[in-house]
Amino acid sequence: MEKLLPDQLKQLWRMVEQEQLTLEEFSREQERFLAEYRSLWEQALILNGHENLQESLCSELAQYSGCEDLAEIQRRCSCALSNVKGEWHGSSVDRDDHQSVQQFYNESEAMIYELMWWHSLSEDDSPLACVTAFHFAQMHGCRTYLDFGAGVGSGGIVFARHGLDVTLADISSAMLSFSQWRFGLRDLSAQFIDLKVGGLPGNAYDMLAAMDVFEHLVDPIQTVDELWRALKPGGYLFGRFHSEVDEDRPHHIVQDFEPTLKRLESLGFVEVWRDEWLWGHQVFQKA
């Protein structure tokens, strides 16, 4: 079976350690592989008539928000992270209260801009972990895919573009409406679940991803239980279980993932893969 990119890079690094490859050759290879990832991401997301990812994502925001001024959209994007922080502090969110946190995500105006900007890869390339998740799904023959905490839906678009049966679930109506509109724009279909009003179906998915979601959860253990029920036996959970205290991101409310990882284990989830090179994601399989 072909290896996932983080494993390929780790293997190449061993060759550097054994002096079979120079650092420059390694860096060139890493850049080449990441360029392939970037290309898959861009091909899935850039709309017809646009050549550049950042400009295409901004044009979506412009069209959706009714603000034609792309410079203004870019300004909103570049201020989005600090605006999310302002919204969090401004609405005095109680990080231990599910309703309070839910209301924050449901009402945040800046979060859509923040996520779209992040997905433009202008700040860092970690959204490309979605491409690893997609390759994992391909390698394991997954057909039904749940994007849990789907945000603006870019990950779901990647999977749907390649023919998977995609469901997006989130607690934010704003995020779900925007994602639904983005799918419509591309003539792609998906199911959308507003977790404020509906739960996840049981035994339904071959794979689910919670990309940069667990650090946002008031009760990650309850979520693990829900995700366990939603997966088919043998199904895969792809996620990142790591976050550090970050004063720019007060909405990252979970830093200790030990209880979550213990719960995964006690339910019978088995870790089957870990990214030890790029972004630190893990995959657990439902026994």
Ligand X SMILES: C[S@@+](CC[C@H](N)C(=O)[O-])C[C@H]1O[C@@H](n2cnc3c(N)ncnc32)[C@H](O)[C@@H]1O
Residue 238 contacts ligand X per CB under 6 A: no
Give least dist CB 216 to ligand X, A: 4
Residue 257 contacts ligand X per CB under 6 A: no
Binding residue (CB under 6 A) for ligand X from 121, 150, 166, 231: 150
Residue 115 contacts ligand X per CB under 6 A: yes
Residue 220 contacts ligand X per CB under 6 A: no
End-to-end alpha-carbon separation of the chain, Å?
22
164 is written with which tokens? 């998977």
* Residue numbers 13-72 binding ligand X by CB under 6 A: none
Give least dist CB 277 to ligand X, A: 19
Binding residue (CB under 6 A) for ligand X from 59, 74, 167, 172: 172
Which amino acid appears at position 191 of this protein?
Answer: Q
Give least dist CB 49 to ligand X, A: 24
Residue 212 contacts ligand X per CB under 6 A: yes
Residue among 73 and 116 whose Cβ is closer to ligand X: 116
What is d(CA 265, CA 125) in angstroms, rounded to the nearest whole number?
30
211 is written with which tokens? 């990309």
> Do residues 40 and 16 lie in contact, with contact meaning Cβ atoms separated by under 8 Å?
no
Residue 213 contacts ligand X per CB under 6 A: yes
Residue 174 contacts ligand X per CB under 6 A: no
Give least dist CB 105 to ligand X, A: 4
Residue among 212 and 275 whose Cβ is closer to ligand X: 212
Residue nearest to ligand X (CB): 151
Residue among 10 and 249 whose Cβ is closer to ligand X: 249
Residue among 6 and 149 whose Cβ is closer to ligand X: 149
Interface residues toward ligand X, by CB under 6 A: 105, 115, 149-151, 155, 170-172, 175, 195, 211-213, 216-217
